[in-house]
Structure 1
Amino acid sequence: MSNPYFKFKQFTVWHDKCAMKVGTDGVLLGAWCACQGTKRILDIGCGTGLIALMLAQRTDALIDALDIDADACLQARENVARSPFAEKIRVVQADLARFADEQAGIQAYDCIVSNPPFFVDSLKCPDRKRTLARHTDSLPLHRLLADSHRLLADEGSLHLILPFSQRERLQEVAFHEGLFMNRETHVYPTPTSQPKRLLVSLSRQRQGTLPTRLTIEQEPRCYTEEFATLVAPFYL
């Protein structure tokens, strides 16, 4: 049986009630995204609250952690309440489109993060909650970008982690929504593998930048120095 919690340096994330467990993708995004100096952060599809907690450790911002699933929100609220950051994080159970309808023009976020569903055409799991958390039909990419655009402050940025195979699709959808990829890191599991994940920041402003590379393991169970440095503030 897998461990029902994952202990970080400043907080512990329980994931026994949540469809999607703590994983490398969430840790990567929480450690990588540029959030310094931000005042309001939105975590879309917060799940256990992992990314919201990581950003609360890194910033003084107020954070809204949003998820459509009741069990995920319950788990996130419990994790936040047990952490040193309870006063900085508000967990909201809501559909993103409805939340955007209610908040657009009232509340703008200078940082939005999301580790969205990404299993596009794979066989759906019989567990409905796990399916909802993993498949893009619960939050299509175009809907995520469109609603994020409505909620972004003028100078705000949207930070995502996606399968690398979706990079071209992301560029198309972002262009349609008036967003530009201004920072991207290609994530390689090992030095000899193909890129598996894309870490990307988007905003309304076009800024020419070159992609960077991040390799996670030098060899099995041996992290590279660059990955170890990135997650050092969090991993025990």
Structure 2
Amino acid sequence: MANNYFQFKKFTIYQDRCGMKVGTDATLLGAWAHGGRTILDIGTGTGIIALMMAQRYPDALITGIDIDKDACLQASENVKASPYSVDIKLCDVRKMEGMFDAIITNPPYFVDSLESPVTKRNIARHTSSLSFRELIDNSWRLLNENGEFSLIVPTESKSLLESEAMLKGFFKARQWAIKTTVQKEPKRYLLAFMKHQCDSLDFGEGIIQDAPNKRSAWYEQLTKDFYL
């Protein structure tokens, strides 16, 4: 990985104009989330998750939206340089229209915490730009009746987000606790919600590293189509 780009097997993510760089959270979510015929990536940033979904679901109509103009320009350039098709839009989710089979987001998650002096990083990381309630309300509005809403959150944000989701009427369909190593407590959770109760729930635990700088077999398998 160079400072301004990240090379995947089938596409390159340039990231010099984006508040959030390529990280484990986005890669986990892009490899784990369920897709559909129509897919919306909220807060697309560099376009990494949208492009991962385009690789996994080549026949899908995929839209990536962001409120940061530079992020949209960068995502558009990353899409143009890739073999995939994604519609990148400069748009606030609160003004987005349409219906989607899958909605995916790596959302702002810091609540009532000290903000960075860098505005782009604040927008990408802090819920002051988009609260969990607004995210949930708009995801419900844009999601088809049988669609799935997937996201990744830090452990400390999980309860608040789940409360908002269930208050809206969402039912949890999938939950994976993600640990950095087997000895540590879960650092983040992959979550998926639907508008109706599910017959079977997919709950599990994933370990990222077996040892320092050594990816686990689970993480290798999950990301094998993407990492070099």
Change over 3 Å in CA distance of 1:108–1:210 after alignment to 2: closer
Partner of 1:55: 53
Structure 1 residue 63 displacement after superposition: 0.5
Mapping for residues 103-118 of structure 1, pairs under 5 Å: 103=97, 107-118=98-109
Q: How does 1:154-169 map to 2 (within 5 A)?
A: 154-169=145-160
Question: In structure 2, what residue type is equivalent to 1:81?
Answer: K
- Larger deviation: 144-153 or 204-213? 204-213
SS at match of 1:171: helix
Which amino acid letter does the alignment assign opposite residue 220 of structure 2? A
Q: Name the residue aligned to 1:139.
A: 130
Letter in 2 for 1:200: L
Q: Deviations over 1:162-196 (max 9, x none)?
A: 01122221221111111111100000011111101
Say yes or no: does 1:218 pair with 2:210: yes
Q: CA deviation at 1:2?
A: 5.2
TM-score by length of 1: 0.93
Aligned match of 1:191 in 166, 182, 186? 182
Compute the displacement of 1:133 (Å).
Answer: 1.0
Q: Which residue of 1 aligns with 2:227?
A: 235
Q: Where does 1:89-104 land on structure 2 (aligned, <5 Å)?
A: 89-99=86-96, 103=97
Question: AA paired with 2:52?
Answer: M
Question: Which aligned pairs between 1:35-46 and structure 2 lie closer than 5 A?
Answer: 35=35, 38-46=36-44
With over 3 angstroms needed to count, the CA separation of the structure-2 counterparts of 1:210 and 1:159, relative to structure 1, is: closer
2:72 partner SS: helix
For structure 2, list consecutive stretches of 5 or more residues without a partner in the other structure. none
SS of match in other structure, 1:211: strand
Q: Name which of structure 1's ranges 15-24 and 121-130 shifts more when overlaid on structure 2.
A: 121-130
Task: Please provide the CA RMSD for this pair.
Answer: 1.2
Partner of 1:3: 3
Tell me whether 1:151 sits opposite 2:142 in the alignment: yes
Structure 1 residue runs without a partner (length 5+): none
Distance 1:209 1:58 in 2: 22
The count of corresponding residues between Structure 1 and Structure 2 is: 226
Say which SS state the counterpart of residue 113 (structure 2) adopts. coil
Task: Provide the residue aligned with 2:72 in structure 1.
Answer: 73
- TM-score, reference length from structure 2: 0.96
